[in-house]
Amino acid sequence: MSIDEAKNLLFQIHFEGNLRKKGFRGLQMWKRRYFRILGSTLIYFDVNNLKVARRTSEITADGKVMVENIPDHPYAFSIIPNKSERLYNVEAYSTQQRVMIPFLPHSSQDQWIRLISLIIALNRRIYAPNPNSRRSIHDSFRILDTLGKGRYGVVHLGQQISTGEVFAIKVIHRGNIDASVLRQELLVLRAVKNRIHSEHIARIVDIYEDPLLVHIVMEYLGGGDLYHRVAKKGCFSEREAANVIRRIGSALEELHKEHIFHLDVKPENIIYESNDSHSPMKLADFGCSLLMDRFNRDTKCVSEVVGTAGFMAPEVISNCAYSEKADVYSLGVTLFILLMGYPPFSGETQSELLHQTVHDRVKYEEKDWEAVSRDALILVKNMLCKNPNERISMREVLTFPWVTNPPASVGEEDGDEK
């Protein structure tokens, strides 16, 4: 099995069910718990609260799983997820396990043991100690200048050795990011790489992993971001703004078809290919994104607020309620900024911005909006509805008459925007 095949198989693993677990402390009583395995992540919950994980561990190449001979517990086995974790004593007693791995046997104890053994074996294949069996980014790319720094990593300019083509390479140190957060980002990036084919989304070229670092090779976009163009230019014309909404809205719609929510749509994450005024633009940065398909329901990830204050939807802030409607709201904030040159809320602190987003009404100053068409104002209001059930859908945004046929400003002609 190749390393890529091992990664793809590990990516698809999703298994969950009830187990009895022996307590770590005190009387060490056996209690019913709900366990879930996503890829190589082991999570367990109280059976009455599947929203908050009691503990999350990573099953690594040095993990162990074995049958245990414990009196009165005939189906007991132990798990050591990795060498830095404590031992779990658990017992399988429910045959009604939810399984998405078709070749595993039906015995509940066997299912858990064989699946965890498989995960350990896959990780050993991926992170094999033999350097000849592990892909190294340095075999294919030269790492050049630093382009910028993000929350969890540094982005470098990289050059492909075989072709000379330049790319952006994001380097993440595993020690600087929570394992579950990194896992979710890699899930999204692999889904974008393998499933998404859109001219308006920054391309994910390849992902290299080793026990210390993750290298993400991305399409290089050298034209700067939308934020700096707005800062330099001020308000966009309606035709220019509609062009942004068409391009980025279609990108988001493609993501939503694959159950990916971007959750950080903002001018800083809309990047131009070149400095040309008519340069194509692309949606980038999936650091806050969630993949919510049938293989992935990582409760820990969806119980935390992600995004940027001022762009996050009200339901994300108040209830961590994620859906495609959250991206509609963020795109609506972006449209507001393009037309007005300022955001709908302007709190001095992040806390103020979050409070205003949830509780305050958006103010549409008549003196500012009188220069904008009525249809543009209607669209912005529909995109910024606080109730996601009343908010317009992305498909409705893209088919809205103002988006498909925006009015031209004085001096603008058909074809000004590509």
Active site positions, annotated: 264
Q: What residues does 31 pair with on adjacent strands?
A: 21
Could you identify the residue written with the tokens 């300019």? 157
Upper half-sphere CA count for residue 199 (Cβ side, 13 Å): 4
Q: What residues does 206 pair with on adjacent strands?
A: 217
Q: DSSP letters along 284-345, please?
A: ---TT-EE-STT---HHHHTS--S-TTTS-HHHHHH---SHHHHHHHHHHHHHHHHHSS-S-
d(CA 255, CA 248): 11
Query: 270-272 and 41-46: which strand pairing?
Result: unpaired
The per-type count for the chain, helices as H runs and strands as E runs, is 13, 17
418 among annotated binding-site residues:
no
d(CA 401, CA 257): 23
In sequence order, what E strands does 82-182 have?
88-92, 98-99, 141-149, 153-160, 166-173
- Count of CB atoms situated within 10 Å of the CB of 224: 14
Could you identify the residue written with the tokens 């509940």? 108
Residue 203 φ then ψ, to 5°: -75, 135
- Count of CB atoms situated within 10 Å of the CB of 140: 16
d(CA 102, CA 401): 48
Residue 158 CA: distances (Å) to CA of 46, 134, 283, 357, 382: 46, 20, 20, 39, 42
d(CA 223, CA 75): 60
**Residue 353 parent element (H or E):** helix 350-359
Closest CA to 246 of 418, 398, 393, 377: 398
Residue 87 CA: distances (Å) to CA of 63, 65, 82, 122: 10, 9, 9, 21
d(CA 410, CA 400): 22
Binding site members for ATP: 170
